[in-house]
Structure formats: structure tokens, C-alpha cells
């Protein structure tokens, strides 16, 4: 089994602004959806993706049944 390496990124905007989370830079679909009670849909997820400069920005909040 090959061990995947991760890098820590800071999230910008949205309910998780300022959080630092690990991401896999080799992931072909670069986004993360973190379970959050701080967003628009408690118990749902907050979706973040890198912008064209590599800054991880809030995209939107997802309802619990959207993922």
C-alpha cells in the first residue's frame, strides 16, 4: 500500500474561514466538503475548492442529503 502525502491548506471565506486542513495535492478532483454545524445547513457540509491562484475558497454549503 502506498502512503499518500498531504499538505495543509488554510480555508478562506465561509463558515470555516481560517481553518487549516490536510488535502491531497495529487487528487484529480481538488475540493473538500467538511461536515459543519457552522454553515447554512447544520449537519451538512461546507464546500471549499482552490481558486486559480491555489487559495482554498468557500464555494457553498451543502445540505446533509447532497453528498
pTM exceeds 0.85 for this model: no
Q: If you compute the radius of gyration of the chain from its CA atoms, what whole number of angstroms results?
A: 12
How distant is the alpha carbon of residue 64 from its chain centre? 15
Pairing mode of beta strands 56-62, 7-12? parallel
C-alpha dist (Å) from residue 47 to 2, 12, 17, 43: 27, 11, 12, 13
Q: pLDDT digit string (tens) for 20-58?
A: 999 998 888 889 999 887 778 888 899 999 999 999 999
pLDDT (0 to 100) of residue 3:
61
> Which strands form 7-12's sheet, in the order they lie side by side?
20-23, 7-12, 56-62, 44-50, 32-36
Amino acid at each position: 500500500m502506498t502512503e499518500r502525502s498531504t499538505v495543509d491548506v488554510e480555508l478562506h471565506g465561509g463558515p470555516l474561514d481560517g481553518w487549516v486542513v490536510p488535502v491531497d495535492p495529487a487528487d484529480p478532483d481538488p475540493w473538500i466538503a467538511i461536515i459543519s454545524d457552522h454553515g447554512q445547513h447544520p449537519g451538512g457540509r461546507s464546500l471549499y475548492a482552490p481558486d486559480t491562484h491555489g487559495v482554498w475558497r468557500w464555494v457553498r454549503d451543502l445540505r446533509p442529503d447532497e453528498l
